[in-house]
């Protein structure tokens, strides 16, 4: 498969999987008290991601293994710091401009336990399998191309994966979220995607990307637990 075809098929199939998952989430209702509507969305996304990885295994070298203890601390640290720094910085700028703060709608519909199970764990795993496990991996032959950032090589697959991951959160428009909150989310998820993609590529292991994503959601989990969350995703 040519590199141009990898980009086209990778982007197209990722978008289709994401949209189908969202469509299923909007149409299928489980009517279970503990299970939020996002469960169907993420479950379908996970299944479709596995199907894509399996059916295109010739072109997608997907690997996941238990991460080494001594190697998880930087992914955890940078994932968490990305949430703290980006959200806090944009919050300060917003306050200075007189923009009213807005928290994520999930805090209005989910308990801390639900956030832990369905956002911190399920959403982190599902989204990383699709955006890093499938999309970034199918683009892997392009990894020599990229940019230098803080003396680190940030490859083209990492950048593309982060952009698509960030833009996928435009789906928040459907929830009625305001422009300021959506902007903050897009910036944060782009940075988080870069970090997740970097460690995915560095260790060739999807588990490290999942760890970064969970760490980025940790701020939201803490906020949900103390009941004062206005940051996170």
Mind listing the pLDDT tens digit for each residue in 112-137? Answer: 888 899 999 999 999 999 999 999 99
Nearest alpha carbon to residue 218 among 105, 88, 103, 124: 124
What pLDDT score does 189 carry? 96
Q: What predicted TM-score, i.e. pTM, was given to this entire model?
A: 0.91
Extents of the domains making up the chain: 3-226
Retrieve residue 121's tokens.
């764990």
Retrieve residue 76's tokens.
């955890």
Q: Considering the chain, what percentage of its residues have pLDDT values greater than 90?
A: 68
Per-residue confidence at 231, pLDDT binned at 50, 70, 90? very low
Mean pLDDT of 39-61: 96
What pLDDT score does 220 carry? 77
Is the pLDDT confidence value at 227 over 70?
A: no
- φ, ψ for residue 104, nearest 5 deg: -70, 140
Q: What is the DSSP string of 73-95?
A: HHHHHHHHHHHHHHHHHHHHHHH
Is the pLDDT confidence value at 197 over 70?
A: yes
* More confident site: 99 or 52: 52
What pLDDT score does 110 carry? 78
Mean pLDDT of 201-209: 98
Q: Which of 73-82, 99-108, 162-171 has the lowest mean pLDDT?
A: 99-108
What pLDDT score does 233 carry? 45
**Alpha helices by DSSP H, the chain:** 3-27, 38-55, 73-96, 106-109, 112-115, 124-128, 137-138, 156-168, 179-203, 206-226
Q: Please tell me the distance from the alpha carbon of residue 24 to that of residue 22, in angstroms, as a whole number.
A: 5
Q: How far is CA 166 from CA 33, 35, 93, 109, 171, in A?
A: 30, 25, 20, 23, 10
């Amino acid at each position: 498969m040519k590199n141009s075809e990898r980009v086209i098929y990778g982007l197209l199939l990722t978008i289709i999987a994401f949209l189908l998952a969202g469509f299923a989430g909007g149409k299928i209702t489980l009517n279970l008290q503990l299970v939020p509507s996002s469960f169907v969305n993420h479950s379908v996304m996970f299944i479709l991601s596995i199907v894509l990885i399996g059916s295109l295994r010739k072109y997608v070298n997907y690997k996941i293994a238990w991460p080494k203890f001594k190697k998880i601390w930087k992914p955890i640290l940078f994932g968490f710091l990305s949430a703290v720094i980006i959200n806090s910085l944009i919050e300060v700028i917003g306050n200075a401009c007189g923009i009213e703060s807005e928290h994520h709608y999930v805090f209005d519909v989910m308990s801390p336990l639900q956030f832990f199970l369905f956002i911190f764990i399920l959403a982190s795993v599902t989204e990383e399998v699709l955006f890093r496990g499938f999309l970034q991996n199918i683009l892997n032959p392009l990894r020599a191309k990229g940019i230098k950032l803080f003396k680190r090589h940030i490859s083209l697959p990492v950048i593309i994966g982060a952009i698509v991951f960030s833009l996928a959160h435009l789906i928040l428009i459907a929830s009625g979220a305001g422009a300021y909150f959506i902007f903050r989310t897009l910036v944060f998820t782009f940075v988080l995607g870069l970090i997740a993609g970097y460690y995915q590529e560095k260790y060739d292991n999807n588990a490290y990307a999942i760890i970064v994503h969970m760490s980025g959601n940790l701020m939201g989990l803490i906020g949900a637990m103390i009941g004062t969350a206005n940051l996170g995703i």
